[in-house]
Amino acid sequence: MARHELLDNVVHKDLRVDTRFGAGLGDPAGLVPVWPTEFAELQREYPIFLQKGEGESEYHAVALLGFDASENLFLDGDRWNANYLPGAVVRGPFSIGFRDPVPGGSLEPEPVVHVDMEHPRVARDGEGVAVFMPKGGHSPYLDHVITVLKGIHDGVAAARAMFATLDRLGLLQPVDLDVRFDEARGARVTGLYGIDRDRLAALEAGQLHALHRDGLLEGVYLMLASLYNMRRLIAEKQRRLRAQDGAGAAA
């Protein structure tokens, strides 16, 4: 049960966060939410897809971490084998909340930092990274988290605009992954969407130019390029299956 609180350097003065990886720390598996603001970093290591929840009208982006909901092929014991960590992982127990605008201030609700005090990464044992400095200042860790949250905040707006445009241009198509790991074993992942290469190639000059001008074309190609990471993910899965087989045979 999540318990979100407005982060406060008095209330949470001793708050520490476990930034390690491994069992029991609530690391994501299967799919992790991602945002266009991090596509450039992600596409070197993670396959990026879109998803649409039951009855939802808007798409959101996800990176594939494994071939079933409990699998994370980037995670190896307490190591996360990638150079870039998705923002949804880095932010740990922190999220963006909104506060009503103060009188005379801006027109829009003001983004603020919330912390989920029931998140498994909230350290109970005095271990972990301090969120605040001893006298109440921001720790470098908190500054980093805030940067990541700002990226996500910008990414939410960017995603809405980008995916609505891609949908309108008919560039999104359902993708069902049907993967073979060896003669006997494979996996299916359904309910994903990806870029339709043929439709992209068939865009008229004006549509293509509009995509480019609005800064969306790069994201389209980053999504396409990200699919080459499937090979890497499959190889890791095969390696794990072989290791498992070996362990089974040895036992």
Q: Is 102 in the site for another protein (CB under 8 A)?
A: yes
Q: Is 135 in the site for another protein (CB under 8 A)?
A: yes
Q: Is 248 in the site for another protein (CB under 8 A)?
A: no
Closest CB to another protein among residues 109, 174? 109
Of residues 136, 146, 116, the one with CA closest to residue 17: 116
Closest CB to another protein among residues 97, 120? 97
- Given 10, 77, 83, 100, the residue binding another protein (CB under 8 A): 100
Ranges assigned E (strand) in the chain: 4-6, 16-17, 31-34, 48-51, 60-64, 75-76, 79-80, 94-99, 110-116, 129-130, 172-180, 186-195
Q: Is 134 in the site for another protein (CB under 8 A)?
A: yes
Closest CB to another protein among residues 104, 248? 104
Which amino acid belongs to residue 127? E
Shortest spacing between CB 98 and another protein, in angstroms: 11
CA–CA distance, 29 with 4 (Å, rounded to integer): 22
Q: Is 101 in the site for another protein (CB under 8 A)?
A: yes
What is the chain's alpha carbon radius of gyration, rounded to the nearest angstrom? 21
Stretch that binds another protein, among 47-55, 105-113, 163-171, 239-247 (CB under 8 A): 105-113
Of residues 99, 241, 124, the one with CA closest to residue 182: 241
Stretch that binds another protein, among 10-18, 83-91, 98-106, 212-220 (CB under 8 A): 98-106
- Given 137, 170, 174, 215, the residue binding another protein (CB under 8 A): 137
- Given 1, 10, 107, 250, the residue binding another protein (CB under 8 A): 107
Of residues 18, 50, 28, the one with CA closest to residue 226: 50
**CB neighbour list of residue 5: distance below 8 Å, 6 or more residues apart:** 11, 12, 114, 115, 117
Closest CB to another protein among residues 10, 107? 107
| Site residues, another protein (CB under 8 A) | 100-105, 107, 109, 133-138
